[in-house]
Each structure stands twice: as C-alpha cells, then as structure tokens.
C-alpha cells in the first residue's frame, strides 16, 4: 500500500504537504519490516531539523531503528498519542500513526523526495 498523494524518502519516511505544514511518518513497508513497534522516541516541538539527520527512534520487538528527517524545517507538532500506543504506527502508518509535523524551511521541500511510483520501484526489488 503506497498512497499516490504522498512523497517518500529512500529511508522509508512519507511526507504529506498541507498548506505550509508537512506531516511525516513511516511507510507501511517500513512498519512491516520493523515488526511490532513497542516504543517511539520523537524530537521536541520547536526543534529545527536538517534533511537526512536522525531525529528519533522506533523500537520494535526485532530492533531499534532511527527515524530520519526527509525534509528540513521546524517541528510544530509531535504525535504524543504514540507514547501510550506505539502500535498505531503498525496499524495505521499513513493516518493516526503519523510521527511529527514540520514547517519546511526549503521553498520546495518535496524536490529531493520520491513519487509513489519511484518509491514503489525501490521497495519492490
């Protein structure tokens, strides 16, 4: 399942742009590879992040994986509901399982990201 209205990173994060805010989460493929997510560590609101930098962690029953920022900007919201229910990332990665919201610092934050078709070709190999 790869929604066509989102942008993707090679590190398996997705980005949805609504006006001047980008919502970021991990893809269905990523959550499937991780297994059951048991803990989510997210950056603080107000933190400025750089594209490509590690900004948090997802801990699953299999491993601990870094969350990488697909775009640069300032964090304006984080999904605190995941602290009490990290499994939502598994059950609804493109909806209630979102991780953070960012005000992008780049004029075109999606320029370096992948389309759904390009991302599909990466995960299907």
1 in a domain, yes or no?
Answer: no
Q: Do residues 79 and 45 make contact, with C-beta atoms less than 8 angstroms apart?
A: no
115 in a domain, yes or no?
Answer: no
Is the pLDDT assigned to residue 102 strictly greater than 70? yes
Is the pLDDT assigned to residue 50 strictly greater than 80? yes
Domain span at 74: 7-109
Q: What is the mean pLDDT of residues 101-112?
A: 94
Q: What is the mean pLDDT of residues 18-39?
A: 96
For the record, the structure tokens of 90 come out as 């598994």
114 in a domain, yes or no?
Answer: no
Q: What is the mean pLDDT of residues 77-87?
A: 97
The total of other beta-carbon atoms located within 10 Å of residue 67's CB is 24
- Look up the CATH number of the domain holding residue 22: 2.40.50.100
**Beta pairing partners, 89:** none
12 in a domain, yes or no?
Answer: yes
Give me the pLDDT at residue 125, please: 66
Compute the mean pLDDT over every residue in the chain, rounded to the nearest whole number.
96
25 in a domain, yes or no?
Answer: yes
65 in a domain, yes or no?
Answer: yes
Q: What is the mean pLDDT of residues 96-121?
A: 96
Number of domain units in the chain? 1
Contacts of 43 (CB under 8 A, 6+ apart): 49, 55, 56, 75, 78, 100
Contacts of 125 (CB under 8 A, 6+ apart): none
Contacts of 80 (CB under 8 A, 6+ apart): none
116 in a domain, yes or no?
Answer: no
């Amino acid at each position: 399942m790869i929604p066509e209205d989102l942008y993707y990173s090679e590190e398996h994060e997705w980005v949805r742009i609504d006006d001047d805010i980008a919502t970021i989460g991990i893809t269905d493929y990523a959550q499937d590879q991780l297994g059951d997510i048991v803990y989510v560590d997210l950056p603080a609101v107000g933190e400025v992040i750089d594209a490509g930098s590690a900004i948090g962690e997802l801990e699953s029953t299999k491993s601990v994986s870094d969350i990488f920022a697909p775009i640069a900007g300032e964090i304006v919201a984080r999904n605190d509901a995941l602290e009490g229910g990290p499994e939502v990332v598994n059950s609804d990665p493109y909806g209630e399982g979102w991780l953070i919201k960012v005000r992008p610092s780049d004029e075109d934050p999606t320029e370096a990201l992948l389309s759904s078709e390009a991302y599909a070709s990466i995960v299907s190999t």
